């Protein structure tokens, strides 16, 4: 799947030859919400144990729209002591920031923050169009719009909404995609993309998961097509899709349980 080929169809992992996939996987990269864990929830113990085992087999990256604090709460707090943190690459806010283990804590390698003017314009456009489109919900759990510095994120039901409510809000992604298109027309110089189950993310143009995997490949000295990228939003409007277009070995999963089964299937192949 080379970049520039136009729209591509990303296969589910059961439709792939995993012997071939694992043989080309020099780096493993994952989305977070609804891939490694349910939206905004902590990675479960079984997933954490198998995810940690991967860090002893390959460099492992997490590239997701959430803030670094979300990575701490959902993943890092769940990982067992034997995790090889030196093999972990954390790229929150869709790769607009990058963190590595510094021996005693996580240190920021880079951050592509938006200007004050762009952050204000993004928040205003999101609220305006969400109200116009009927997406400014009365009942929410936490703030609808979050300024993450390098990314402005709209969450229709609030940042802390329960998983069930999120999943029911926009099951076919049409509401998020419609809002993203309206906001993109206001902000042509910024990247506007449908994010998680209820979210729209705004960041600097060209700084998305394609940028993240390309940067990671350069840092680790591998080709982009030697990165296996696993995500649940691999449709053309999804926030995992740019990683596929960048030329990674992209694999679609349905949910964390599906990801866990994939990891369990890959582990013995990666250990050969």
pLDDT values of the chain reduced to their tens digit, one per residue, 272 residues: 434 445 789 999 999 999 999 999 999 999 999 999 998 899 999 999 999 999 999 999 999 988 999 999 999 999 999 999 999 999 999 899 999 999 999 999 999 999 999 999 999 999 999 999 999 999 999 999 999 999 999 999 998 899 899 999 999 989 999 999 999 999 999 999 888 889 999 999 988 899 999 999 999 999 999 999 999 999 888 889 999 999 999 999 999 999 999 999 999 999 99
**105 a catalytic residue:** no
Residue intervals of the chain classified under CATH 3.30.1240.20 are: 116-204
31 labelled ligand-binding: yes
Distance from C-alpha of 223 to C-alpha of 81, rounded to nearest angstrom: 31
33 labelled ligand-binding: yes
**31 a catalytic residue:** yes
CATH 3.40.50.1000 describes domain 13-112+207-270: yes
Question: Which member of 15, 31, 105, 172 is catalytic?
Answer: 31
248 labelled ligand-binding: yes
- CATH architecture observed for domain 116-204: 2-Layer Sandwich (3.30)
186 labelled ligand-binding: no
User: Is the pTM of the predicted complex or chain greater than 0.75?
Assistant: yes
232 labelled ligand-binding: yes
Residue intervals of the chain classified under CATH 3.40.50.1000 are: 13-112+207-270
Question: Which member of 7, 33, 116, 208 is catalytic?
Answer: 33
């Amino acid at each position: 799947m080379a970049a520039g080929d136009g729209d591509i169809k990303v296969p589910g992992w059961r439709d792939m030859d995993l012997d071939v996939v694992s043989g080309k996987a020099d780096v493993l990269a994952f989305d977070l919400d609804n891939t490694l864990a349910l939206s905004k929830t902590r990675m479960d113990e079984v997933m954490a144990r198998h995810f940690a085992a991967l860090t002893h087999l390959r460099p492992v990256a997490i590239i997701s729209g959430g803030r670094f604090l979300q990575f701490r709460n959902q993943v890092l707090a769940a990982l067992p002591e034997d995790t090889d943190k030196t093999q972990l690459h954390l790229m929150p806010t869709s790769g607009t920031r990058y963190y590595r283990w510094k021996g005693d804590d996580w240190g920021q390698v880079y951050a592509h923050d938006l200007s004050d003017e762009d952050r204000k314009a993004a928040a205003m456009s999101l609220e305006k169009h969400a109200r116009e489109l009927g997406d400014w919900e009365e009942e929410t759990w936490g703030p609808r719009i979050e300024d993450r510095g390098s990314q402005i994120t709209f969450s229709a039901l609030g940042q802390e909404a329960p998983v069930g409510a999120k999943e029911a809000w926009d099951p076919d992604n049409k509401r998020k995609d419609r809002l993203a298109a309206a906001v993109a027309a206001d902000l042509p110089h910024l990247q506007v993309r449908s994010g998680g189950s209820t979210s729209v993310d705004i960041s600097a143009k060209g700084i998305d998961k394609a940028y993240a995997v390309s940067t990671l490949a350069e840092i680790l000295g591998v080709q982009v097509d030697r990165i296996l990228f696993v995500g649940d939003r691999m449709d053309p409007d999804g926030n995992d899709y740019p990683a596929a277009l960048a030329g990674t070995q992209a694999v679609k999963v349905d949910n964390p349980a599906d990801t866990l089964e994939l990891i369990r299937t890959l582990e013995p192949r990666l250990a050969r």
